[in-house]
């Protein structure tokens, strides 16, 4: 998609992204609450992803921003203008739907031209804009085809072109890559990022795929049961999850359960072990220490001073080429995950006992549910 | 396929496995291939033999007889068609029949389109009720329905009483083409609504949303996206209603007037009362040709407009 992005950058119509603010956004269907008081500020030009399991309210939030679903309460502001009373066709947003929602009775060209016709853009200019969009998504030669005559990936490109052709300040995407196979998905992720870098539009992306969210986004809002449970960069969410849900939804981890006593906040008491915690946390009572697999080291010896450690037994080993993944049994019977790279190989084998050690500052502590 | 690999027994004719491979190759080359895998030597076609015989004997033979009689009675020649094309009354009847059929099609379309749309967007309870109302005419005998209309439409009937009460004055409905049209439209409604509903419910509702987010106001998104996609249903329903209208006999006979005869009634008069099989045949052939030409034209237009052939059977997929 990168071939003609310069056209987008230089075009007169180019607008920079808009800021979006959600205030107490709530949607209730009968007695069930789909979205429960979402507050979020999205910066102009930001790539924001709503990540969460299905039914967690992320798509409902997107549909409220698009104007398809009226909020039960709360406000949506775009560049500080409240949108509540604005119908979808005047919101000036682009949208890529799940399953694309291309107009089956129109050709690729007419699909992409549709938003421009609605805006009464003169014919010559329309032609230029459509041509640029077609080039951007590399669909030259397919202009006369109907959507049904295209592959899934090509349809996705048409949907994308239709959504960006009028350079909306906000682009909404609802699981746009959900129907594609893994290879194609990865290729298109690259292209979406590339376009985001060049056009300056605010991107709002909904997905349940955590890898996709980590790859694409500037920031991620993690949804659970109608609420945003944490907002942050991929790194923040991965390394500093604030809840067990976020820790478990994004990536793999080893969990150590115990109690933090109010008078001894530096340690997690887990059975006979006192596990040192990272400084500055605010968790009290039942708590879980979350350690990512690559932060754990295995060794036959006791942990060095300054490192935390628990005795483990290696139960399983998976060779992954660039690394080795080991499943270990922790005290108390639960399992942990260790990823060893070439520099951190321990030499322990299945059945061996030893210690799993980590730097307490690299672990996170979250309240136990 | 567990058969040994091809070539173990040279000279043998292609086995199914080989043929299937060939078909896949065809598909890869973009040529159309049959979707249904047929077993070799299948005799499934025998299943349609009884129906085919019935259609031939019960439909093909009489139609052929009529066509033959139209050019052989009372003597061989085209005099019956010459009469049809030069007789003012015959032409008037033909013209009136076409106009009545066209108007009935238009009325059922105008009434049926919003009705079918409501069925598409409503919840299951309301949809069930609407469907019941559409299908009701199917569960009542045609004669009962027509005579019910006589009672409603007569000069001192329900409709005229209401019109009078509203200060609009009484108007003659029974024995007029208007009365015939009212009765026909009620009877034909399901044939319009069902294909429309069938076409509409297969339309992805998010397409209209996509139209709106692209900047089209709701009515325009509906007009530019939903309506074009519902056209196959419009064609199927209109075609069905129009062709059925051409053949209406009982309704015009009871609700209409002999002075404003429609073609099937004229046909009946020619054959049953005047025993003029030749002229009756010519009228029948005219009816058949009109329907045939219309089918062909609609199929062609439908294909041009929607890229699909008209789903004439659409309403029957219930």
Domains along chain B with CATH numbers: 76-316 (1.10.3720.10)
| Letter string b/e over residues B86-114, b meaning 16 or more CB atoms within 10 A of that residue's CB | eeeebeebbebbbebbebbbebbbeebbe
What interface predicted TM-score (ipTM) does this complex get? 0.81
The neighbouring-strand residues paired with A204 are A48, A172
The neighbouring-strand residues paired with B30 are none
Contact A37, A74 (CB under 8 A): yes
Q: Nearest 5 degrees, angle CA A345-CA A351-CA A356?
A: 50
Distance CA B148, CA B141 (A): 11
Q: Are residues A164 and A301 in the same domain?
A: no
Q: What pLDDT is attached to residue B139?
A: 83
Distance CA A64, CA A28 (A): 12
Whether chain B has a CB inside 8 Å of the CB on A29: the answer is no
Q: Is there a domain that residue A356 lies in? A: yes
Phi, psi torsion values for A171, nearest 5 degrees: -120, 120
Contact A357, A307 (CB under 8 A): yes
Among candidates A316, A301, A314, which has minimal Cα distance to A355?
Answer: A301
Number of cross-chain residue pairs from A and B with Cβ atoms under 8 Å apart: 64
Q: Are residues A260 and A226 in the same domain?
A: no
pLDDT at B25 over 70: no
Q: Are residues A138 and A195 in the same domain?
A: yes
Distance CA A247, CA B252 (A): 77
pLDDT in tens, B123-139: 899 999 999 998 887 78
Cis peptide leading into residue B74 (ω within 30°) = yes
Taking CB atoms and an 8 Å cutoff, what residues of chain A touch B213?
Answer: 66-68, 88-89, 91, 93-95, 172
Q: Are residues A330 and A182 in the same domain?
A: no
pLDDT at B249 over 90: no
Count of domains in chain A?
A: 2
* Residue of higher predicted confidence among B311 and B191: B191
The neighbouring-strand residues paired with A311 are A355
Q: Are residues A262 and A214 in the same domain?
A: no
Among candidates A228, A230, A232, A229, which has minimal Cα distance to A217?
Answer: A232
Distance CA A14, CA A16 (A): 7
Kindly identify which residue of chain A lies nearest to residue B220, measuring between CA atoms: A118
Contact A348, A332 (CB under 8 A): no
Q: What pLDDT is attached to residue B169?
A: 77
Tokens of A323: 């690394």
Q: Are residues A234 and A297 in the same domain?
A: no
Distance CA A364, CA B297 (A): 73
Q: Are residues A285 and A137 in the same domain?
A: no
To the nearest whole Å, the CA of A27 is away from the closest chain B CA by: 19
Tokens of A308: 């935390």
Distance CA B271, CA A160 (A): 66
pLDDT at B4 over 70: no
Contact B205, B283 (CB under 8 A): no
Residue A86: which CATH number?
3.40.50.300
Kindly identify which residue of chain B lies nearest to residue A101, measuring between CA atoms: B207
Question: Who among B204, B212, B307 is closest to A89 (CB)?
Answer: B212
Q: Are residues A265 and A217 in the same domain?
A: no
Q: Are residues A92 and A211 in the same domain?
A: yes
Q: Is there a domain that residue A245 lies in? A: no
Whether chain A has a CB inside 8 Å of the CB on B202: the answer is no
pLDDT at B231 over 80: yes
* Residue of higher predicted confidence among A103 and B249: A103
The alpha carbon of B110 is separated from its chain's Cα centroid by a whole number of angstroms, namely 16
Question: Who among B212, B220, B229 is closest to A105 (CB)?
Answer: B229
The neighbouring-strand residues paired with A222 are A51, A230
Question: Who among B211, B213, B216 is closest to A93 (CB)?
Answer: B213
Q: Is there a domain that residue A233 lies in? A: yes
The alpha carbon of A141 is separated from its chain's Cα centroid by a whole number of angstroms, namely 34
Contact A124, A145 (CB under 8 A): no
Contact A134, A164 (CB under 8 A): no
Contact between chains at B214 and A66 (C-beta distance less than 8 A): no
pLDDT at B11 over 70: no
Domain boundary among A189, A218, A239: A239
Contact between chains at B215 and A166 (C-beta distance less than 8 A): yes
Phi, psi torsion values for A91, nearest 5 degrees: -85, -10
The neighbouring-strand residues paired with A23 are A75
Among candidates B278, B251, B73, which has minimal Cα distance to B177?
Answer: B251
- CB proximity list for B208: less than 8 A, separation 6 or greater: B218, B221, B222, B225, B226
Whether chain A has a CB inside 8 Å of the CB on B214: the answer is yes
Distance CA B51, CA A153 (A): 46
Could you tell me the CA-to-CA distances from A256 to A265, A303, A311, A313, B158 in Å, in that order?
A: 16, 17, 12, 15, 83
The parent domain of residue A69 ranges over: 5-239
Distance CA B90, CA A2 (A): 71
Q: What pLDDT is attached to residue A142?
A: 93
Q: Are residues A217 and A328 in the same domain?
A: no
To the nearest whole Å, the CA of B216 is away from the closest chain A CA by: 6
Contact B277, B62 (CB under 8 A): no
Q: Is A43 left (phi over 0), alpha (psi -120 to 50) or beta?
A: beta
Contact between chains at B215 and A104 (C-beta distance less than 8 A): no
Q: What pLDDT is attached to residue B19?
A: 43
Whether chain A has a CB inside 8 Å of the CB on B208: the answer is no
Tokens of A160: 């994308």
Q: Are residues A104 and A11 in the same domain?
A: yes
Q: Are residues A132 and A200 in the same domain?
A: yes
Among candidates B92, B97, B89, which has minimal Cα distance to B256?
Answer: B97
Distance CA A129, CA B211 (A): 18
pLDDT of chain A, 369 residues: tens digit per residue? 444 444 444 443 345 789 999 999 999 998 888 999 999 999 999 999 999 998 899 999 999 999 999 999 999 999 999 998 899 999 999 999 998 999 999 999 999 999 999 999 999 999 999 999 998 888 899 999 999 999 988 999 999 999 999 889 999 999 998 878 888 888 889 889 988 888 889 999 999 998 899 989 999 999 999 999 999 999 999 999 999 999 999 889 999 999 998 888 888 888 888 888 888 888 888 999 999 999 999 988 888 888 888 999 999 999 888 888 999 999 888 899 999 988 788 888 898 999 999 999 999 999 987
pLDDT at B234 over 60: yes
Residue A358: which CATH number?
2.40.50.140
Whether chain B has a CB inside 8 Å of the CB on A149: the answer is no
What's the rounded mean pLDDT across residues B261-270? 83
Question: Who among B204, B207, B215 is closest to A89 (CB)?
Answer: B215
Q: Is there a domain that residue A279 lies in? A: yes
Residues 35-74 on A with a CB inside 8 Å of B are 66-68
The neighbouring-strand residues paired with B41 are none
Whether chain A has a CB inside 8 Å of the CB on B229: the answer is yes
| Letter string b/e over residues A49-60, b meaning 16 or more CB atoms within 10 A of that residue's CB | bbbbeeebbbbb
Distance CA A356, CA A337 (A): 10
Q: What single string gives the DSSP state of each residue in A175-231? A: STTTTS-HHHHHHHHHHHHHHHHHH--EEEEEES-HHHHHHH-SEEEEEETTEEEEE
Q: Nearest 5 degrees, angle CA A122-CA A124-CA A128?
A: 115
Q: Is there a domain that residue A156 lies in? A: yes
Give the Cβ contact number of residue A25 at 10 Å: 24
Tokens of A278: 């990272």
Sort A236 into a burial class: Cβ within 10 Å, 0-12 / 13-18 / 19+.
middle
Question: Who among A68, A114, A166 is closest to B209 (CB)?
Answer: A68
What's the rounded mean pLDDT across residues B203-216? 93
According to DSSP, the β-strands at A73-78 and A81-82 are antiparallel
Domain boundary among A181, A215, A239: A239
Distance CA B214, CA A66 (A): 11
Taking CB atoms and an 8 Å cutoff, what residues of chain A touch B303?
Answer: none
Domain boundary among A218, A239, A260: A239
Q: What pLDDT is attached to residue B8?
A: 39
Distance CA A159, CA A147 (A): 10
pLDDT in tens, B31-69: 444 445 556 677 888 899 999 999 999 988 988 988 888
Q: Is there a domain that residue A303 lies in? A: yes
Q: Is there a domain that residue A328 lies in? A: yes
Q: Nearest 5 degrees, angle CA A229-CA A233-CA A234?
A: 90
Q: Is there a domain that residue A244 lies in? A: no
């Amino acid at each position: 998609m990168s071939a003609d992005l310069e056209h987008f950058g230089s075009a007169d119509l180019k607008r920079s992204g808009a800021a979006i603010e959600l205030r107490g956004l709530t949607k209730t269907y009968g007695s069930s609450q789909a979205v429960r008081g979402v507050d979020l500020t999205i910066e102009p030009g930001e790539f924001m992803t709503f990540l969460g399991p299905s039914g967690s309210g992320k798509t409902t939030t997107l549909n409220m921003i698009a104007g398809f679903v009226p909020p039960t309460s709360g406000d949506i502001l775009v560049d500080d203008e409240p949108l509540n009373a604005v119908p979808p066709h005047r919101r000036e947003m682009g949208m890529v739907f799940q399953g694309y929602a291309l107009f089956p009775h129109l050709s690729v060209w007419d699909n992409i031209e549709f938003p421009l016709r609605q805006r009464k853009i003169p014919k010559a200019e329309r032609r230029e804009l459509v041509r640029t969009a077609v080039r951007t998504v590399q669909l030259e030669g397919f202009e006369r085809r109907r959507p049904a005559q295209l592959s899934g990936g090509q349809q996705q490109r048409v949907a994308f072109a239709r959504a960006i052709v009028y350079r909306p300040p906000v682009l909404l995407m609802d699981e746009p890559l959900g129907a594609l196979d893994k290879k194609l998905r990865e290729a298109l992720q690259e292209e979406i990022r590339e376009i985001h870098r060049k056009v300056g539009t605010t991107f709002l992306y909904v997905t349940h795929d955590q890898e996709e969210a980590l790859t694409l986004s500037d920031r991620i809002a993690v949804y659970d049961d109608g609420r945003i449970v944490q907002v942050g960069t991929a790194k923040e969410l991965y390394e500093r999850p604030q809840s067990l849900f976020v820790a478990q939804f994004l990536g793999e981890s080893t969990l150590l359960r115990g109690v933090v006593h109010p008078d001894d906040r530096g340690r997690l008491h887990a059975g006979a072990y006192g596990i040192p915690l990272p400084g500055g946390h605010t968790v009290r009572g039942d708590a879980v220490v979350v350690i990512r697999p690559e932060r754990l080291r295995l060794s036959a010896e006791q942990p060095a001073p300054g490192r935390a450690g628990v005795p483990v037994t290696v139960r399983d080993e998976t060779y992954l080429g660039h690394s080795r993944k080991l499943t270990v049994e922790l005290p108390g019977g639960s399992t942990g995950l260790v990823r060893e790279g070439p520099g951190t190989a321990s030499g322990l084998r299945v059945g061996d006992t030893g210690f799993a050690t980590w730097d307490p500052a690299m672990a996170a502590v979250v309240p136990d549910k | 396929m567990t058969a040994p690999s091809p070539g173990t027994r040279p000279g043998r004719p292609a086995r199914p496995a080989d043929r299937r491979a060939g078909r896949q190759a065809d598909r890869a080359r973009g040529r159309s291939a049959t979707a249904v895998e047929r077993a070799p030597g299948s005799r499934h076609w025998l299943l349609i033999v009884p129906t085919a015989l019935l259609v031939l004997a019960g439909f093909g033979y009489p139609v052929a007889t009529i066509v033959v009689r139209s050019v052989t009675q009372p003597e061989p020649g085209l005099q019956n068609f010459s009469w049809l094309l030069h007789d003012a009354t015959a032409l008037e009847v033909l013209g009136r029949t076409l106009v009545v059929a066209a108007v009935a099609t238009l009325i059922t379309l105008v009434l049926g389109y919003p009705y079918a749309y409501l069925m598409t967007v409503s919840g299951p309870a309301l949809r069930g009720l609407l469907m019941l109302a559409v299908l009701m005419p199917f569960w009542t005998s045609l004669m009962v329905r027509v005579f019910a209309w006589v009672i409603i439409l007569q000069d001192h009937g329900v409709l005229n009483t209401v019109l009078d009460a509203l200060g609009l004055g009484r108007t003659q409905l029974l024995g007029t083409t208007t009365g015939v049209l009212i009765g026909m439209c009620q009877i034909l409604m399901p044939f319009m609504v069902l294909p429309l509903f069938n076409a509409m419910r297969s339309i992805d509702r998010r397409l209209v949303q996509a139209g709106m987010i692209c900047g089209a106001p709701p009515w325009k998104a509906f007009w530019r996206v939903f309506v074009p996609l519902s056209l196959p249903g419009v064609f199927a329903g209109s075609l069905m209603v129009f062709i059925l209208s051409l053949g209406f006999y009982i309704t015009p006979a009871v609700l209409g007037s002999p002075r404003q005869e429609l073609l099937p009634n004229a046909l009946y008069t020619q054959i049953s009362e005047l025993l003029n099989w030749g002229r009756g045949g010519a009228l029948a052939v005219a009816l058949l040709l009109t329907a045939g030409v219309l089918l062909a034209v609609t199929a062609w237009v439908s294909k041009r407009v929607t890229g699909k052939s008209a789903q004439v059977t659409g309403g029957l997929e219930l």
